[in-house]
Amino acid sequence: MESRIMAELDLPAFPVATQVYPRKQDWLVLNALAGLSGSLYKFAFDLRLLQAPSLGEWSEPFGARQVGSSAMPFKRNPVQSENIDSLARYVATLPRVAWDNAAHSLLERTLDDSGNRREVLPSAFLAVDEILGAARRILGGLQIYEGAIARNLAMYGDFAATERLLMVLVSKGANRQEMHEVIRAHSMVAWRAVQGGEHHNPLPQLLSRDGEVRKFLSEVEILALFDVREHVGDAPDRARKMAQRVRSELDRVEGYHHVSLPG
């Protein structure tokens, strides 16, 4: 009977069991659900930051008549991402209950887990089902604002570019510590300008005119090092390959309805 039932379920049977299967199985299942929730939590958490008005690079899909806030009509709150994070925090707490059930199973005879298992296991699957549904809805209508990305890069990307400048200066024979201090001093001036409302970052101009830096590089060479297009390496190619791998894996799942991913 066991063989027939397990064949129908397409699952292996436990080789040794008492009244029920080993309770550690619940812990393994809930850990898997919590791990999935953790990955989607991070995705949603990052999206919430990127949707904030201060960055504005990404956003969830937003309906034509959707209300973002009951108090502030202009708001576009990332409600689905917030929902994912809320439920994922709950799912993250459940493996501990299963751990206690497994560890406190007295001589494999106690049934003090039966009450909480009736709540924990269904709740975990229902919560993760909602998390996955929200994630698919977000990905299906994810908005990417290239203008905002370009604006943020123009304002703050130059600070990151100083690392590349420092490396090239050292390769030309400059003293690393001395160049670090030169770049740091100009960066502080540029940061104050940006925070003070300047519409462009003055850092490239400040460094391209610095006499100590100009001993090793021309103004044209210095400014070229601030081209953000040269800072990403092979990241675009890797990202596309990973997206294609994800699509291929998802297409293998029976009954999967393809979601068109941005980019």
Q: What is the CATH number of the domain that holds 169?
A: 1.10.40.30
**CATH number, position 126:** 1.20.200.10
The pLDDT of residue 124 is: 97
- Do the domain assignments include residue 109? yes
Based on the fold, state whether residues 120 and 211 are members of the same structural domain.
Answer: no
CB 68 within 8 A of CB 77: yes
Q: 7 with 121, same domain?
A: yes
Note the pLDDT of residue 84: 97
208 with 123, same domain: the answer is no
Residue 7 in domain: yes
- Looking at the structure, do residues 33 and 119 belong to the same domain, yes or no? yes
**117 and 155 in a common domain:** no
Q: What is the pLDDT of residue 19?
A: 72
Residues, the chain = 263
Q: Is residue 32 part of a domain?
A: yes
Q: Residues 55, 94: one domain?
A: yes
36 within domain boundaries: yes
CA-based nearest residue to 121, from 31, 38, 26: 26
**Residue 261 CA: distances (Å) to CA of 52, 84, 180:** 22, 19, 42
Q: What is the pLDDT along the chain (263 residues), one digit of tens a residue?
A: 989 999 999 989 888 887 778 889 999 999 999 999 999 999 999 999 999 988 899 999 987 676 666 666 666 788 999 999 999 999 999 999 999 999 998 877 778 888 999 999 999 999 999 999 999 999 999 999 999 998 898 889 999 999 999 999 999 999 999 999 999 999 999 999 999 988 889 999 999 999 999 999 999 999 999 988 888 889 999 999 999 998 888 888 755 555 555 44
Asked if the structure places residue 117 within a domain, the reply is yes
Distance CA 120, CA 128 (A): 12
**Considering its fold, how many domains does the chain have in total?**
2
Start-end of H helices in 143-228: 146-152, 158-171, 176-195, 203-208, 211-214, 219-224
* 83 shares its domain with 134: yes
Give the model's pLDDT for residue 226: 92
H-helix or E-strand spanning residue 122: helix 114-140
Provide the β-strand partners of residue 59.
143
Contact 37, 95 (CB under 8 A): no
Q: Mark whether 124 and 166 lie in a shared domain.
A: no
Residue 186 resides in a domain? yes
Q: Are residues 139 and 199 in the same domain?
A: no
Q: Are residues 100 and 51 in the same domain?
A: yes
Choosing from 144, 159, 183, the residue where a domain stops is 144
Is 153 found in the same domain as 122? no
Per-residue confidence (pLDDT) for residue 159, from 0 to 100 = 93
Q: Choose one of 116, 144, 172: the last residue of a domain.
A: 144
| Residue 244 forms part of a structural domain | no
Of 16, 32, 19, 36, the residue nearest 113 (C-alpha): 19
Q: Are 205 and 113 members of one domain? A: no
> Which residue range(s) make up the domain with 16?
2-63+75-144
The answer to the question of residue 121 being in a domain is yes
Distance CA 121, CA 130 (A): 15
| Rounded distance between C-alpha atoms, residue 179 and residue 181, angstroms | 5
Q: Coil, helix or strand for 116?
A: helix
Of 113, 144, 175, the residue that ends a domain is: 144
DSSP one-letter code for 256:
P
